[in-house]
């Protein structure tokens, strides 16, 4: 009688290993792509939050009568006559500027107004405000002025990131001074 031996193959072949590597590579690529998309969405959201909070900071400084830290002025004259505002420069769409409107014209004047703080938006985020925009909250009620005028009822600042379809819009309402994010 002849004995027949059978072999049980329980090991990976080279083809099995190549297929496994291809599947892992595909999964890793999809995870990285989704992570980058989520990161861009966070960039837009965080930048919109920064814009809104800076606008609210200018409004609060106007309402509370905050004085600018200018030691050359006597203490009673340190409040800017036009209040406080935020400047959006169309030539630098990644930075916003909190300023004191010392000129009293409810607009940003680079020669007489004082920039108190410069804020950079998150990573690649940029804003669009239809050109340069100065939002100034006037004393005593913090009514909003847009580029020195009280003609429009609201202004919108759109925040985007390159290669992303996510946008956030920060709206400032002139009469109420309300700042909202949509």
> Domain extents for the chain?
14-181
For position 86, what pLDDT does the model report?
Answer: 97
Q: Distance between CA 33 and CA 119 in Å, rounded?
A: 29
What own/partner pairs with CB < 8 Å and gap ≥ 24 does 114-117 have?
A: 114/68, 114/70, 114/80, 115/87, 116/68, 116/84, 117/54
Q: Distance between CA 173 and CA 11 in Å, rounded?
A: 70
Q: Distance between CA 49 and CA 3 in Å, rounded?
A: 79
Q: Which residues contact 68 (CB under 8 A, 6 or more apart)?
A: 78, 79, 80, 100, 102, 114, 116
Which pTM was predicted?
0.78
Q: How many CA atoms lie within 13 A of 70 on its CB side?
A: 18
Domain 14-181 has CATH 1.10.3720.10: no
Arithmetic mean of pLDDT over the chain: 86
Kindly report, residue by residue over 7-45, the tens digit of the pLDDT.
666 666 888 778 888 888 888 777 776 666 556 678 889
For position 7, what pLDDT does the model report?
Answer: 61
Q: How many CA atoms lie within 13 A of 117 on its CB side?
A: 17
Q: Is the pLDDT of residue 99 over 90?
A: yes
For position 175, what pLDDT does the model report?
Answer: 87
Q: Looking at residues 77-92, what average pLDDT do you find?
A: 91
């Amino acid at each position: 009688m002849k004995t027949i031996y059978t072999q049980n193959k329980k090991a990976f072949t080279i083809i099995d290993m190549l297929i496994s590597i291809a599947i892992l590579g595909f999964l890793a690529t999809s995870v990285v792509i989704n992570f980058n998309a989520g990161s861009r969405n966070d960039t837009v959201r965080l930048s919109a939050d920064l814009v809104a909070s800076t606008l609210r900071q200018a409004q609060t400084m106007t309402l509370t009568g905050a004085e600018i830290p200018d030691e050359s002025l006597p203490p009673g004259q340190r409040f800017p006559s036009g209040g406080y505002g935020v400047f959006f420069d169309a030539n630098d769409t990644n930075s916003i500027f909190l300023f004191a409107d010392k000129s009293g014209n409810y607009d940003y004047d680079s020669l007489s107004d004082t920039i108190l703080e410069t804020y950079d938006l998150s990573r690649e985020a940029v804003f669009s405000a239809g050109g340069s925009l100065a939002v100034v909250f006037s004393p005593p009620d913090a009514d909003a002025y847009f580029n020195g005028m009280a003609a429009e009822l609201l202004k919108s600042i759109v925040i985007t990131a390159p290669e992303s379809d996510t946008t956030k819009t920060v709206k400032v309402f002139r009469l109420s001074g309300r700042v909202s994010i949509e």
